[in-house]
Amino acid sequence: MAIFEGAGVAIVTPFREDGSVNYEKFAELLEDQIQGGTDAIIVCGTTGEASTLSHEEHLSVIKFCAETVNGRIPVIAGTGSNCTETAVYLSTEAEKYGVDGLLLVTPYYNKATQNGLFEHFKQVADSVKLPIILYNVPSRTGCNILPQTAVRLCNEVSNIVAIKEASGNISQIAKLASLAQGNIDIYSGNDDQIVPILSLGGKGVISVLSNVAPRQTHEICAKFFAGDVVGSAREQLRAIELCDALFCEVNPIPVKAALNLMGKEVGSLRRPLSDMEEANVEKLRIAMKNYGIL
C-alpha cells in the first residue's frame, strides 16, 4: 500500500528576519495545506532548504510538523545526506517523532557508484522500520539512480517502497516502471510531468506547485485517478506557465517569492540562495495572475 496517493507538498521552511525558523508561520502553512486538500506533507526536502538547516533545526522542524499535522494526513520527512552515518542519525531520530515515511535523496557531491548507492540506501533503511521513498534528482546531486538499482533496492530491502523521480527523463522512468512490475511506487518530482508519470502507473507527485496551488495540484491527480484523464491533462497544461515560472531560478527561490506575493510572509532564503531577480519576479507575478492565484 502506498504511503500516499495524490499530491504531496514539498513544503517550504519559513524564516524570520533574523534567519531563525518561523514556527508560527510554519503552523499556518501546514493548516493551509491540509484545508487546501493536500494529500501529504513532505518536510525538510529540497524546497524546505534542509541543506542549510543545522541538524538540530532539521529535526526540530520535522518534530513540529508531525505534532502539528497530528495524523490528519501523512508526513514524510526528508532525512537524506551525502554521509551515510548522518542519514542514519536523522532517520532514526525522525522515526521517533511519528512520521509516516522518510524521503532519502541520493548522496550529493560524493557521486557514488550504483553499488555504493545500494549499500548507502540499504544501511539507512535497515536502521529504521519506516517505509522509505528514494529521491532521484541528478541535476542537483550529480548522481542518478538507474532503474535496475531502484528495482534491486525495492526487491531486496523490504521498507524501500517508492521513488520520487525528478530526473526529468521519461524514458528512464518508463524503463523503471517496466522493470518494477508494480513493485515500486513512483512519484513525479517535477510538476510539469505529473500526468505523464501517472500514465505510467505513478501514485502522484511530490510538488513545489502545491505550495501555492494545493487544491489545483490535488485535482490533477484526483481527476486522473477518477478516470477523467482529459480533465487531468487540461489542469496539467493550464499549470505549465506557472510551473515554468516557479523554476525560472533554482528552487525554492521562486516559490518563496510566490508565497510572499500571496501575503504568506515566509521570509527570505538562507545563503547561498539569494532573493529572486526583479525581472523574474515580474514573470512569476504574471504567471500567478494568469493562473488565478494572485
Point out the residues that are catalytic: 135, 164
Q: What is the 3-state secondary structure (H, E, C) of 117-142?
A: HHHHHHHHHHCCCCCEEEEECHHHHC
Distance of CA 111 to the CA centre of its chain: 21
Handedness of CA 35, 39, 43, 48 (dihedral sign): negative
- 145-150 contacts at long range (C-beta below 8 A, 24 or more positions apart): 145/106, 145/114, 145/117, 146/114, 146/172, 147/172, 147/175, 147/176, 147/179, 147/180, 148/114, 148/179, 149/114, 149/117, 149/118, 150/176, 150/180, 150/184
Q: Report how far residue 268's alpha carbon sits from residue 257's, in angstroms, rounded to the nearest whole number.
A: 8
**Cα distances (angstroms) measured from residue 292 to each of 32, 234, 254:** 17, 15, 17
Distance CA 63, CA 93 (A): 9
